[in-house]
């Protein structure tokens, strides 16, 4: 009987294991805790509240994980992010902030630390992220699209915060706060690199999904996909990384980088 039990034990164990794997995240949060303590704790804090020892010296504050609120998401405004969204930030970092790329961690450690970071926000245990927003293919950068995008920028009052010239100096630029009460400024779109990525799809995502936790809202309910792409191209035209468009139309020099 003991022999039989011993033989059956692995079967029962396998069933248990299958159940727990099916319900668990892909990463191992226990190992993720070690990865977090080694690499993330100094800024994001032992409690995941963004109050690590180094945080007070930073103008852009480290993310407080407890609300499940993230700027870089493929999901709609207010939704939890996908694991792949968090991994995107880990791989690429956030340009212009203290968050560096963590490519060196490797795939497994990244998955593990994501599983651990999610334990700071109880929402991850009870809520599912919404489906990612749909980003149709970029129809292409052109003078005509940039010109139409300038009209979209005007109609949608982007200048309210970002200013008529995109320098982040609109009437509502002052006194803005993030969800935690920290001062926050609208992005200067003429600077070049965009914090959440330089690809056209990154820019599209920012104003269609919004930057949760900041004043930047979603325009997905008011902006058509056609207008959105024109707006992307206009924003690109403000950047020194992109070819300038002359008033009479047509690219002054070169094309899309």
Partner 1 sequence: MSNENSAMPVVRRSLRLLSGLAMLGITATVASPSALAAYEVITVTNGGTIDGVVTLTGAKPAGVPITVTKNQDYCGATIANPDYVVDASGGLADVLVYLKDIPKGKAAPTEPVLLDNQHCMFVPRVTGAMVGQMIKVSTADPVLHNTHLQDAATNATIFNVAMPFKGFTVTKPLPGNPEMINIKCDAHEWMHAWIKELDHPYYATTDASGHFTLKDVPPGNYTLVAWHETAGEKSAPVVVAAGKATKSAIMLAAK
Which residues here bind partner 1, judged by CB under 8 A? 1, 3-5, 8, 11-12, 15-16, 19, 23, 66-69, 76-78, 123, 126, 155-158, 160-161, 171-172, 174-177, 179-180, 210, 212-219, 221-223
H/E segment holding residue 43: helix 41-44
Nearer Cβ to partner 1 (35/223): 223
Q: Which residues contact 11 (CB under 8 A, 6 or more apart)?
A: none
Assigned token pair, 161: 């915060």
From CA 245, how far away is CA 257, in angstroms rounded? 14
Least distance in angstroms from the C-beta of 203 to partner 1: 16
CA triple 160-189-169, angle to 5 deg: 40
Least distance in angstroms from the C-beta of 212 to partner 1: 5
Nearer Cβ to partner 1 (122/249): 122
Q: Which residues contact 184 (CB under 8 A, 6 or more apart)?
A: 176, 177, 178, 214, 215
Least distance in angstroms from the C-beta of 210 to partner 1: 5
From CA 17, how far away is CA 30, in angstroms rounded? 17
Least distance in angstroms from the C-beta of 175 to partner 1: 5
CA distances from 184 to 4, 127, 148, 176, 213 (A): 66, 28, 29, 5, 11
Nearer Cβ to partner 1 (15/241): 15
Nearer Cβ to partner 1 (27/68): 68
Nearer Cβ to partner 1 (45/76): 76
Least distance in angstroms from the C-beta of 55 to partner 1: 17
């Amino acid at each position: 009987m003991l022999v039989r039990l011993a033989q059956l034990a692995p079967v029962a164990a396998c069933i248990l294991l299958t159940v727990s794997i099916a319900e668990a995240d892909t990463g191992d949060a226990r190992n993720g805790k070690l990865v977090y303590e080694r690499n993330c704790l100094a800024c994001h804090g032992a409690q995941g509240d963004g109050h690590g020892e180094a945080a007070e010296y930073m103008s852009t504050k480290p993310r407080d994980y407890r609300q499940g609120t993230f700027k870089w998401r493929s999901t709609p405004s207010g939704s939890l992010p996908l694991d792949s969204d968090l991994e995107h930030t880990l791989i690429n970092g956030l340009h212009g902030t203290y968050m560096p790329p963590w490519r060196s961690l490797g795939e497994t450690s990244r998955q593990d630390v994501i599983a651990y970071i999610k334990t700071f926000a109880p929402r991850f245990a009870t809520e599912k992220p919404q489906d990612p927003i749909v980003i149709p293919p970029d129809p292409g950068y052109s003078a005509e699209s940039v010109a139409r995008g300038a009209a979209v920028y005007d109609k949608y009052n982007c200048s309210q915060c970002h200013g008529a010239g995109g320098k982040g100096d609109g009437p509502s630029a002052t006194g803005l706060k993030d969800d935690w009460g920290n001062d926050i400024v609208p992005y200067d779109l003429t600077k070049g690199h965009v914090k959440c990525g330089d690809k056209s799809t990154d820019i599209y995502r920012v104003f269609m999904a919004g930057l949760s936790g900041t004043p930047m809202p979603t325009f997905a309910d008011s902006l058509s996909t056609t207008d959105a792409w024109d707006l992307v191209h206009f924003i690109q035209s403000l950047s020194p990384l992109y070819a300038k468009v002359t008033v009479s139309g047509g690219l002054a020099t070169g094309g899309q980088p």
